[in-house]
Structure formats: structure tokens, C-alpha cells
Amino acid sequence: MGDTGWVERPLLDTGATSPEDWYARGQALRERSPSKAHDHEAAGAGRPDAVAYFDQSNTGRLPELIELRRERMLSSPFSFFRGAAGLMAADLAGSPVSGLDAQLCGDAHAANFGLYGTPEGRIVMDINDFDETVPGPWEWDLKRLAASLVLAGREGGVGESGCREAAEDAVKSYRRTIRELAELPFLRSWNALPDESVLSEARADELIDDFADAADKARKNTSAKVAAKWTEHLDDHETGLRRHRFVEDPPVLTHVSDETASAVFDGLVSYVDTLRSSRRALISRYRVSDVAFRVVGTGSVGLRSYVVLLHGNSEEDLVLQVKQAQPAALARHLKLPEPAHEGRRIVEGARLVQAETDILLGWTTIDGRPYIVRQFRNLKGDIDPASLKKDHLDDYGRLAGALLARAHTRSLHPRLLAGYFDDDEHLDEAVGGFAVRYADRTEADHQVLANG
């Protein structure tokens, strides 16, 4: 066949035409931001103090729950850190970056990696919190993870060398995973599921038993279990049927007014349209039985959050969570435009980052406020990083670093980052040094809030 004159070119104009071009572009960015630059001061120039930050971050929250939020953040420096993503964003604003942006978790601390079930019931581990997800510098997620490992280790009684080693190994695992993903066929790297096999790939063999125990608990964590524990049977005299109703457990679980329940129901009707068409057919088969208010999380305390009990086939129960979506705390520090819907921002970020997302994940609006909707505790579990001893914490850092790398390569070309990491010898220690310094800063902030 003769020469047709055809020139190989990408489907989209990205400025690079081959894997080698992507790699070279990443290498060139090392001059802009060398690895040693990431070992910088913990506190940013424009940061508020801990008391001012706490007060500012309560905007839009229910006043009656603010004191409970304070109590949870004061339980330990690690807990304070978990509720202060916006404060760390203020500290990272203006810090050295490579110029490469990924879809961030935005709050990639060590306790935001958890187990959950795929639609087929397979247990995987991945990032599982996306309230703060926005596009931004990959370094922000990695530094938040590293600092959280130091704080979790300190809470669990791990020595300083062990805490720093866990932080450095998270960075090392992140780099190694990026390099490995950069060499894989795109379809294979995109569809790789982070199941139990990821432990060996991340060199986290010490966690095999921890993962197995957490997976066993996750398999038992179903809507049926929630319904059995949190509901009671009532006779509906209008229909002659028996239904379930949530049993109050204040202040965590409380009944809502009929007006609120109706508003949540209406929100669920519009939520259906945010699902893929096949899943709309699935959710339409369920009947809403009850709605209750439930306090959640550490950083989310004070936001409006509801649990909804639905009945399906025969004795089947399904529990959904309907959770208020706040503006991302990172957005103003990254000078991002306001999204059309904060719930949609969270859902689309999760769909981009996670290997497998909840098939019932969607968004809605209730009384003018944005919300996300998802399954509640269905096949979900975790490994508590603050309970791990030295070798296990170190392996957890490697596991989390690998998972974060896989998550970032869903939106950032892996060969770009692989090029940036070419022959790197300093990033692990640089970020590790920052992580220890930031953990010290967090402990000081925690004390300021306690004294305030």
C-alpha cells in the first residue's frame, strides 16, 4: 500500500502527540518546581487562627449542632485536622506546585480511604469522601495525606521516626505507582480495581489481616442490618400494611416534621433524573417509608443530613443518605468559579476519581439547598489509621499513597507525572519534613481552639 499522507494525531488537541511528548513535558516542569521546594513552612501567610477558622467554617450549619462539632474536633489533633480542610488549604495557597492539576479528593486524609462494595458485591478500597473535590494541584492531596499519617501515628502511640517513615513511604508509593501506571495500557490502568490484590502491589502485606477483617465487617454492613438495628415495625391503619419507622436516638438520630419529610421526598423525585437511565428504572421500584435526621462525620457536623428508609422486593430494605453539599473549602484558595450545583460537583468528582462509584449516587435540591444522595453504609468498612502500630501504619501509608496515585491518574495523564518524578531522590523526604512540621502546627491549632 502506498503512503497515504496520514499523520498520527490525538482525538483531542492536548499539546502532546505521543507518550514520549507527555513524559518530556513532565520532565520540563522540574525546573519550575524542584522536589526540595515542597519542604516549606507549614503556616500560610494569610491563614486565620484556629478559633477564627472554626467560626468562619460554621456558616450555613445548624446552630444547635455547632457545639457538638467543636467537641468532636477537640477530641484529638487528628480529629481537629479532619475538620479543618479549609485551614490547610489556606496554608497551601501560594506554596510551590508543579503546575499539574488533577481532580482532587480535597480532603485526602488517612481516614478518608475506606472499603466499599461494587455492584457485584466485590470489596474494594478507595478514597471515599468527596465533599471537597475540585480540580487543583496534586501536591495538595499528597501533603494532606502525609500530614494525616503523622497525626494518626502520634494518636496511636507510634514513635516520631515511625510517623515520619509512614509519611515518606506514602509519597514513595505514590511516585512508584505513578511510574507503573504510566507504563500500562490505558484501558488496563483505567479499569484497575483496588481490591485485596492492591496490598501486594503497594507492598503493604502487613495489612492483609486488617484488610480481611475490615472486608468481613463491610460485607455485613448492609441496609438490612441498618433497618434491623434502627427501625421498628408499625401498622399503617390507612393502608392496612406494616412498615418500618426509624427509632430516635438523639442527638444523632431524630424524627423530622411531616413538612421536612415531604421536602426530602420531593428532592428524591428530582434526584432520580441525575442517575443513568438504567438506574432510574432500578430506584423507581422502591417505596419511601420514613425519613429521619442523622448527625454525621467530623467535618460535616452541623450540615443537614437525612437518612431515608425505602422498601423494595418482599422484605427488602434500602437506606439512602441525603446530605447537604457545602461549597468546597479549597475553591476560593484556588480561585475557582462557583459551580452550578455543589451536589453535582461532588458527584461528578467522585465519578471521575473512584474506580467504582455507588450506582445510586446522585444529587438534588431541597428547600433551595444542594444535596448529594447515596446509599448509606452499604458494604462499607474501614481500617482506622489511628489504631495501627508502626509496621502497619507504614504499610497503610504505602497503600493510601498507591490509591491516591491511581485516583489522580483518572484525570491527570500518568506520563506527565512520571516525567516530573524522573530520577527523583528528594520528594519523599521533602514532603515528609513538611508533614511533621504541619502535624506540629495542627497540634498548636488544636490547643488554640481548646483554649478559645
Residue range 14-25, pLDDT digits in tens: 766 788 999 999
Q: Is the backbone peptide bond immediately before 251 cis, with ω within 30 degrees of 0? A: yes
- Give the mean pLDDT of the chain: 93
The pairing of strands 101-103 and 135-137 is: antiparallel
Strands 231-236 and 241-246, by their bridges, are: antiparallel
Q: What is the mean pLDDT of residues 275-283?
A: 93
Polymer length in residues for the chain: 452
| pLDDT tens figures, 172-228 | 999 999 999 999 999 888 887 788 888 888 889 999 999 999 999 999 999 999 998
Going through 170-303 in order, the beta strands assigned E by DSSP cover: 231-236, 241-246, 253-255, 287-294
pLDDT 10s digits, 310-346: 999 988 999 999 999 999 999 999 999 999 999 999 9
Edge-to-edge strand list for the sheet holding 362-366: 253-255, 287-294, 305-311, 317-324, 369-375, 362-366
- pLDDT band of 423, cuts 50, 70, 90: confident
CA distance 277 to 344: 17
| Other residues' Cβ atoms within 10 Å of the Cβ of residue 315 | 8
| Residue of 12 and 335 predicted with greater confidence | 335
Give me 275's grid cell: 442517575
- Please report where in the chains the cell 521546594 appears, as a residue: 37
For residues 370-386, give the mean pLDDT: 95
Residue 242 has pLDDT above 70, yes or no: no
Average pLDDT over residues 352-379: 95
Average pLDDT in the 347-376 region?
96
Read off the pLDDT of each residue in 132-146 and give the average, rounded to a whole number.
Answer: 98
Report field, pTM of the whole predicted structure over 0.85: yes
Rounded mean pLDDT of 244-273?
Answer: 95
pLDDT at 92: 98
Helix (H) or strand (E) holding 71: helix 66-73
In the structure, what pLDDT confidence band is assigned to residue 236 with cuts at 50, 70 and 90?
low
Q: Buried (b) or exposed (e) across 40-76, using 16+ Cβ within 10 A?
A: bebebeebeebeebbeebbeebbeebbeebbebbbeb
Q: Which residue has the cell 457485584?
A: 120
- pLDDT over 60 (residue 1): no
Left if phi > 0, otherwise alpha if psi is -120 to 50, otherwise beta: which for 159?
beta
Checking if the pLDDT of 365 tops 80, the result is: yes
pLDDT score at 3: 62
Considering only CA atoms, which of 249, 390, 383, 384 is closest in space to residue 307? 249
